[in-house]
Structure 1
């Protein structure tokens, strides 16, 4: 026993003597021989049978101190062993360290007593976003989760799913960490991602139709590129899907240009790297132009359902807001693409191509941030039927982070892509011819303005 425990025990003995001298363990009579038939005054039986409460108090306190001392000694022994053997592996963490009670202890009001940077950095490392943004997500989903009769609290269910999306954990891993059944984890993941992709999508992923937002977006792109009326940048990215059990006829359909099974994500981003359109409708083997033509956005633009009323005049051409894309997309009146992928155009055309690709870099960075924040998209481990909603859910969360100005991690870097120029369909001819004249007018105007500076 250590010295502190011995000192406390000695003090207790003195306290005991002062309260009940007749049974003093330190009295001279205690050392005198006693008849074999009579119990010693210092024996447990005589102390416990005494009419005074002091002996019972003494033994109770002494037992507690003994237990504490033995626990302290055991801890010290373990620490000494670790210091003697630094290579020894630490004990595996408890499987319940992500339990409901542990989460409750972490998320109670005391978290607001922490400095905001410390609090939010801790939360971000666990769930991919700061505590205020996390509570925003919970508040918006809580009514729908409550209506589902889920046996878990809403905030815990959201935290469980966000930890999976943020770190890319499988359902089995999350289940072992939270002491839940893997089937239940998959069910909760499916429910929360479906709610994010349906209930929160209309609020956080919106086509810029209002005048104020359109002006803000086009001005943001013009400050970046000197090109007027750009309202978005479009790009596609394959999302790797793990463990697809495909029949022979479907194997090549899902294999992307990089050689792995995937589904294709298409996004349109504004100048702040906020997505205003998301589409996941094509297998990884599809090309960007085909995916675009299958999207609701394409149908709305070609049918005239979306007509942006902000118009600028460039060299006699009325230019409405347009999006920009790379060589793999078709040139249309509402979609500008480069003249040439290798700088083979005129000086004006090459200058236009450089600025267009500069504006397009915004969406490339946005996709890189998306995959860096929600690592599950680097190697998706959900069923193929649930892949689209999981991807869209991550896009909603990405927008929440961008709107809240969450710190941007180092973006995930996809391999450089290349592809053939998209061919123009017969039904697109009038959009193509109009887009061709607009593109040339924009290039000539840009070249004249920048050359005169």
Structure 2
């Protein structure tokens, strides 16, 4: 028995013994002195038989029960497992006040809001406001129960930090289903309504000249209009029957993102059509860009003469892509070519570095791309939405975060297909002419 209770009981018995039963207020009707044969008031039997002790006994028992109940409660509270077992216990509520509409409105009035906005939503307030202005009519037409700007803010916070719908919902006191619905709506609008305005092939002469000149300053190679590369985007919840096709070369389930970037690390083409198990060459051949270039649908009005070869604007990629008249790749992935060819390869890969950096910036700004936590059906539009936001950041010269680095490329060189022979042989002639011209120009300096 607990020492504290024993001390309490001892004090009560001492009090009982100190009271005379003949004069005690506990037994006013008892007037005769006790006989010699009467049990001692201090004995346990007297506590049970003496009517004068009944109230004190009741008080003692009540105290005992109360003490035991309190002691048990205290023991349970101190148990490491008690917090898990208590039916009424719950985790501390999330700081939803910081994510409420009222807090959002207060932040928008802050004079230092750009710094806060970037930390919360990945973009400055000016970029955010531009996105909201473009999407507001479509969001308003959906009869959403939330203000359009607040809905966009919730989605951007999710894309920027990689939050799950459940996390955003708990912080904003919303239902996770509603957060998923808002995410799907906003990313779809970004991927469809804003994409044509923000991600464009450099078809105008002014922009084409600016792009080719930018690449030439970087590589000394003329008429480069873009750099192409692919990157796996990690996904979850892949159907077991499809897991083999989605397993990328780095060992996780993914879809492939293909982008073409200009010298400013802005994307002018985005494609998400292949599971992670596909290779870059197959993904490129299945893209709309390949079909348009292959069929001559895209015609760039800028042709130069290099050693009697007419060279139209072309894109550059690594050895995982096929060599074609409109796509230049290195002679050798291991530097086994001639001095002119190795020089060309080094400059080509320098031009290709802009797309690698662009993808690194994309994944650093929108961390959801590092581990997608949306349904597989909504993955492509979410990726494209992040590419749209990336271009807006580059266009407005938002601060560039530390680049996220993918593993080094280790794919096999792409093979030529039967239907590509004409473009391949023409590409071989153009590549050798460019290499010889580059070597001559740089050697004569």
TM-score range for the pair, normalised by the shorter chain length: 0.7 to 0.9
- SS at 1:400's partner residue? helix
Measure, in 1, the Cα distance between the counterparts of 2:154 and 2:94: 17
Give 1 or 2 for the bigger CA radius of gyration: 2
Deviation at 1:247, TM superposition (A): 2.7
Number of the residue aligned with 1:341? 333
Number of the residue aligned with 1:197? 191
Number of the residue aligned with 2:96? 95
Number of the residue aligned with 2:175? 181
Number of the residue aligned with 1:275? 267
Asked if 1:209 corresponds to 2:203, the answer is yes
1:51-450 superposed matches below 5 A: 93-107=94-108, 110-111=109-110, 114=111, 118-244=112-238, 246-248=239-241, 250-450=242-442
Measure, in 2, the Cα distance between the counterparts of 1:370 and 1:105: 29
Measure, in 2, the Cα distance between the counterparts of 1:429 and 1:147: 51
Deviation at 1:121, TM superposition (A): 1.4
Deviation at 1:252, TM superposition (A): 1.0
Measure, in 2, the Cα distance between the counterparts of 1:383 and 1:396: 20
Measure, in 1, the Cα distance between the counterparts of 2:346 and 2:409: 17
Deviations 1:379-433, CA, capped at 9 Å, x for gaps:
0000000000000000000000000000000010111111111011111110001
Measure, in 1, the Cα distance between the counterparts of 2:316 and 2:95: 51
- SS at 1:446's partner residue? helix
Could you say what the CA RMSD is over the residues aligned between the two structures, in angstroms? 1.1
Measure, in 1, the Cα distance between the counterparts of 2:292 and 2:284: 12
Deviation at 1:94, TM superposition (A): 2.7
Deviations 1:259-302, CA, capped at 9 Å, x for gaps:
00000000000000000000000000100000000000000001
| TM-score normalized with structure 2 length | 0.79
- Greater shift, 229-238 or 142-151, is seen at 142-151
Deviation at 1:234, TM superposition (A): 0.1
Deviation at 1:96, TM superposition (A): 3.5
Tell me if structure 1 keeps the 8 A contact 2:107–2:113. no
Measure, in 1, the Cα distance between the counterparts of 2:107 and 2:263: 36
Tell me if structure 1 keeps the 8 A contact 2:94–2:170. no
Q: Give every structure 1 segment of 4 or more consecutive aligned residues whose post-TM-superposition deviation is greater than 4 Å.
A: none
Measure, in 2, the Cα distance between the counterparts of 1:326 and 1:105: 49
- SS at 1:199's partner residue? helix
Deviation at 1:92, TM superposition (A): 6.1
- SS at 1:200's partner residue? helix
Deviations 1:308-332, CA, capped at 9 Å, x for gaps:
1101110000100000000000000
Measure, in 2, the Cα distance between the counterparts of 1:451 and 1:358: 19
1:36-47 superposed matches below 5 A: none
| TM-score normalized with structure 1 length | 0.77
Measure, in 2, the Cα distance between the counterparts of 1:230 and 1:97: 48
Unaligned runs of 5+ in 2: 1-91
Deviation at 1:93, TM superposition (A): 4.8
- SS at 2:232's partner residue? strand
Measure, in 1, the Cα distance between the counterparts of 2:440 and 2:427: 20
Number of the residue aligned with 2:24? none
Measure, in 1, the Cα distance between the counterparts of 2:105 and 2:96: 16
- Greater shift, 414-423 or 275-284, is seen at 414-423
Unaligned runs of 5+ in 1: 1-90
Deviation at 1:204, TM superposition (A): 0.2
Measure, in 1, the Cα distance between the counterparts of 2:178 and 2:243: 30
Tell me if structure 1 keeps the 8 A contact 2:259–2:269. yes
Measure, in 2, the Cα distance between the counterparts of 1:191 and 1:306: 32
Deviation at 1:105, TM superposition (A): 1.9
Measure, in 2, the Cα distance between the counterparts of 1:93 and 1:151: 22
- SS at 2:249's partner residue? coil
Tell me if structure 1 keeps the 8 A contact 2:154–2:168. yes
Deviation at 1:185, TM superposition (A): 0.2
